[in-house]
């Protein structure tokens, strides 16, 4: 893209000092000086700790051909053209969108947001779109996929990467033949303009509960940030059971002639409803009522809350024109999501071991209540709570939920970061004790906690490993170590076999 055209796209004046600077080709965009490659634009973002303008020379030395920012600080000069904008973060997204050729305009984009269920809903929607004929890409917390269905990881571990990565991945999807994309859109991404340049056709809202308040500050601000997705989409799919938020969302979703549909996994008053839900040990059957009729559906997952995720995905994909009968047929072949109610293979005499990402009090409550239905013996749960700047107010409630819903709770580590692990465990213990319960033990090392629960569980018991799901690292103090929860669980089962063989 020509520099002069980039300036036009940003809506800012460009003074061509030599008469040919405007013809300079801009090949990419970044706000990280150490990520700059020759020919790219450097966006100098002023953050809480650093001002990107301090890294202009480093960016230019790496090959930046233009700097974009909110104004050069006093006594600071740029050796390359400088484009002044009102908001550097917005310009980061707008510039990346322009340089990549506005890729989302060439895709049917389904965005998913909410506190719980984003990833599962995104993966179900991806499966439904693919099984009904759309060449579809995915951008999610688990990584991203092009139409070739190979899971890849973006350069930075965010639920949604920064705007340049978002636009580059969408452009890659287009280059590889995609006609649709599912974009899991976090509140952070929406608040920080990481998905500003994405043109959403459909927005799917799962729910809103207390989470990430360390970043958003209040529930009202958390809602406002997530609601940006609904305000940007042509059509929205809203959870009628998510009170009181759905009442505030409907006017936002229908403003300016836009449209919305609602869904209810509880059989409430909604466009899409689920009734006659029957939970089995490996699948759920449900009657789906939709604007186009009703059908008996089979979901090869456990967890009653997954009915809501499936219903949301079906309503979202239906908004792109897929008939109900095709959606039901595709749903029956859904392979599941890694780290979301993922059951391990078991041999005779093994407890049922399930890995799940539930890490908030509401999601843990749902997960345990669901697993309890199909547990013949005792229910065990292994869980921790994040430290560092993460919301500390959920630690005691997690302890209360775990000891109320499970027969045995094992409190352990879960990315405690700079917070002393003993402090986190003490808060979880307090939540249990204040509720009058003592059916817990604290084991700081997560590996040992998992092995303890699997070893002590009986053949008719269920062990739920909550909180880590598919994550590939575990943060201990300042150290980040590799972590594979399902691998730890398999090792624990193998050790249990060895102990029983020696007995």
3-class SS string, 37-76: CCCEEEEECECCCCEHHHHHHHHHHCCCCEEEECCCCCCC
pLDDT in tens, 181-196: 999 999 889 999 999 9
172: which 2 tokens? 């890659």
Whether 68 has a pLDDT exceeding 60, the answer reads yes
- CB under 8 Å to 192, separation ≥6 — which residues? 89
Interatomic CA distance for residues 473 and 468, integer angstroms: 9
Q: Identify whether 244 is preceded by a cis peptide bond (ω within 30 of 0).
A: yes
Q: What does the pLDDT look like over 446-468, one tens digit per residue? A: 999 999 999 999 999 999 999 99
What is the Cα–Cα distance from 82 to 90, expressed in whole angstroms? Answer: 16
Phi first, then psi: give them for residue 481, nearest 5 degrees: -115, 150
Tell me how far CA of residue 296 lies from CA of 131, 310, 324, 466, in angstroms. 18, 13, 10, 31
Q: Give the closest residue to 324 by CA, choosing from 353, 351, 287.
A: 287
- For residue 157, the model assigns a pLDDT of 43
Helix (H, G, I), strand (E, B) or coil at 446: helix
What's the whole-number average pLDDT of the chain?
A: 93
Q: Are 249 and 271 in contact (CB under 8 A)?
A: no
- Report whether 71 contacts 84 (CB < 8 A): yes
Query: Is the pLDDT at 281 greater than 90, yes or no?
Result: no
**Count of all residues that appear for the chain in the document:** 503
At residue 503, does pLDDT exceed 70?
no
Predicted confidence band at 210 (pLDDT cuts at 50, 70, 90)? Answer: low
Asked whether residue 214 carries a pLDDT value surpassing 60, the answer given is: no
Residue 395 near residue 385, CB atoms below 8 Å? yes
Q: Work out the number of other CB atoms within 10 angstroms of the CB of residue 184.
A: 27
* pLDDT of residue 300 exceeding 70: yes
- C-alpha neighbours within 13 Å on the C-beta side of residue 209: 18
Q: What kind and span of H or E run contains 21? A: none
pLDDT of res. 217:
67
Pairwise CA distance, residues 489 & 492, whole Å: 5
Q: What is the DSSP letter of 79?
A: S
| Contact of 256 with 244, CB cutoff 8 Å | no
Spatial separation of the C-alpha atoms in residues 413 and 400, rounded to whole Å: 17
CA distance 162 to 455: 43
Euclidean distance between CA atoms 450 and 484, whole angstroms:
12
What does the pLDDT look like over 5-54, one tens digit per residue? 999 999 999 887 777 899 999 999 999 999 999 999 999 999 888 999 99
Give mean pLDDT, residues 74-96: 96
pLDDT at 292 over 90: no
**Nearest of 355, 302, 385, 336 to residue 486 by alpha carbon:** 355
Over residues 379-406, the pLDDT tens digits come to: 999 999 999 776 788 999 999 999 999 9
Highest mean pLDDT among 208-212, 255-259, 334-338: 255-259
Mean predicted confidence (pLDDT) in 163-172:
96
Alpha-carbon distances, residue 7 vs 74, 146, 418 (angstroms): 23, 31, 43
Residue-wise pLDDT tens digits, 484-500: 999 999 999 999 998 88
Rounded Cα distance, 83 and 67, in Å: 6
Residue linked to tokens 């969108």: 97
pLDDT at 216 (0 to 100): 58
Report which secondary-structure segment, H or E, holds 438: none
pLDDT for 70? 97
Q: Classify the phi-psi angles of 440: left when phi > 0, otherwise alpha if psi is within -120 to 50, otherwise beta.
A: beta
Query: Using an 8 Å Cβ cutoff, are 302 and 320 in contact?
Result: no
Torsion sign (Cα): 186, 188, 191, 196: negative
Question: Which residue in the block uniquely carries the two structure tokens 């409803």?
Answer: 273
The tens digit of pLDDT for each residue in 111-137 reads 999 988 899 999 999 999 999 999 999
User: From residue 56, how far is each of 247, 252, 498 by CA, in Å?
Assistant: 47, 40, 60
Calculate mean pLDDT across residues 154-165.
70
User: Is the pLDDT at 155 greater than 80, yes or no?
Assistant: no
Q: What is the DSSP string of 178-208?
A: -SEEEEE--HHHHHTTTTTT---SEEEE---
Pairing mode of beta strands 136-140, 180-184: parallel
Instruction: Return the closest-CA partner of residue 70 out of 101, 96, 31.
Output: 31
Is pLDDT of 303 > 90?
no
CB 410 within 8 A of CB 441: yes
Dihedral in degrees, nearest 10, Cα atoms 359, 463, 118, 153: 90
Residue 79 in tokens? 């050796």
Percent of the chain with pLDDT over 70: 97
What SS3 class is residue 1?
Answer: coil
DSSP SS3 for 305: helix
Residue 25 falls in which region: left (phi positive, over 0), alpha (psi -120 to 50) or beta = beta
DSSP state, residue 340: B
d(CA 228, CA 53): 29
Helix, strand, coil % in the chain, rounded to nearest 5? 40, 20, 40
């Amino acid at each position: 893209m020509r520099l002069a055209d980039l300036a036009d796209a940003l809506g800012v004046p460009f003074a061509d000092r030599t008469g040919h600077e405007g013809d300079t080709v801009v090949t990419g965009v970044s706000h990280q000086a150490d990520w700059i490659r020759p020919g790219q634009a450097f966006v100098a973002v002023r953050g809480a700790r650093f001002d990107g303008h301090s890294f202009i020379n480093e960016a230019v030395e790496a090959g930046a051909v233009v700097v974009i920012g909110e104004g050069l600080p006093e006594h600071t000069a740029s050796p390359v053209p400088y484009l002044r904008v009102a908001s550097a973060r917005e310009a980061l997204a707008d510039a990346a969108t322009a340089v990549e050729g506005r890729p989302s305009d060439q895709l049917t984009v389904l965005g998913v947001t909410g506190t719980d269920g984003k990833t599962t809903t995104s993966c179900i929607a991806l499966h439904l779109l693919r099984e009904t004929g759309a060449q579809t890409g995915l951008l999610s917390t688990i990584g991203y996929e092009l139409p070739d269905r190979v899971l890849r990881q973006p350069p930075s571990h965010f639920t949604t990467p920064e705007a340049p990565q978002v636009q580059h991945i969408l452009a890659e999807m287009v280059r590889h033949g995609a006609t649709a994309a599912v974009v899991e859109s976090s509140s952070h991404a929406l608040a920080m303009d990481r998905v500003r340049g994405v043109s959403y056709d459909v927005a799917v809202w799962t729910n809103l509960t207390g989470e990430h308040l360390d970043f958003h500050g209040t529930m009202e601000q958390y809602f406002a940030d997530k609601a940006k997705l609904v305000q940007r989409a042509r059509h929205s799919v809203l959870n009628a059971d998510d009170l009181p938020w759905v009442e505030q969302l409907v006017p936002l979703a229908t403003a300016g002639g836009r449209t919305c549909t609602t869904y209810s996994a509880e059989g409430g008053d909604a466009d899409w409803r689920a009734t006659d839900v029957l939970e089995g040990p490996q699948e759920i059957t449900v009657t789906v009522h939709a604007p186009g009729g009703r059908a008996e559906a089979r979901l090869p997952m456990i967890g009653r809350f997954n009915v809501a995720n499936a219903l949301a995905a079906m309503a979202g994909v239906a908004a792109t024109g897929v008939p109900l009968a095709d959606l039901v047929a595709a749903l029956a072949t859904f392979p599941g999501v890694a780290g979301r109610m993922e059951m391990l293979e078991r041999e005779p005499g093994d407890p049922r071991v399930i890995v799940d990402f539930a890490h908030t009090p509401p999601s843990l409550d749902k997960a345990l209540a669901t697993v309890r239905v199909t547990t013949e013996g005792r229910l065990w749960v292994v869980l921790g709570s994040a430290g560092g700047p993460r919301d500390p107010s959920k630690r005691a409630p997690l302890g209360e939920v775990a000891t109320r819903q499970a027969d045995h709770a094992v409190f352990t580590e879960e990315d405690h970061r700079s917070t002393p692990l003993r402090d986190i465990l003490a808060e979880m213990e307090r939540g249990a004790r204040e509720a009058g319960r003592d059916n817990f033990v604290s084991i700081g090392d997560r590996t040992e906690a998992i092995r303890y629960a699997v070893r002590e569980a009986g053949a008719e018991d269920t062990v739920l490993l909550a909180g880590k799901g598919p994550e590939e690292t575990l943060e201990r103090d300042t150290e980040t170590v590799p972590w594979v929860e399902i691998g730890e669980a398999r090792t624990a089962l193998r050790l249990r076999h060895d102990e029983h063989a020696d007995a």
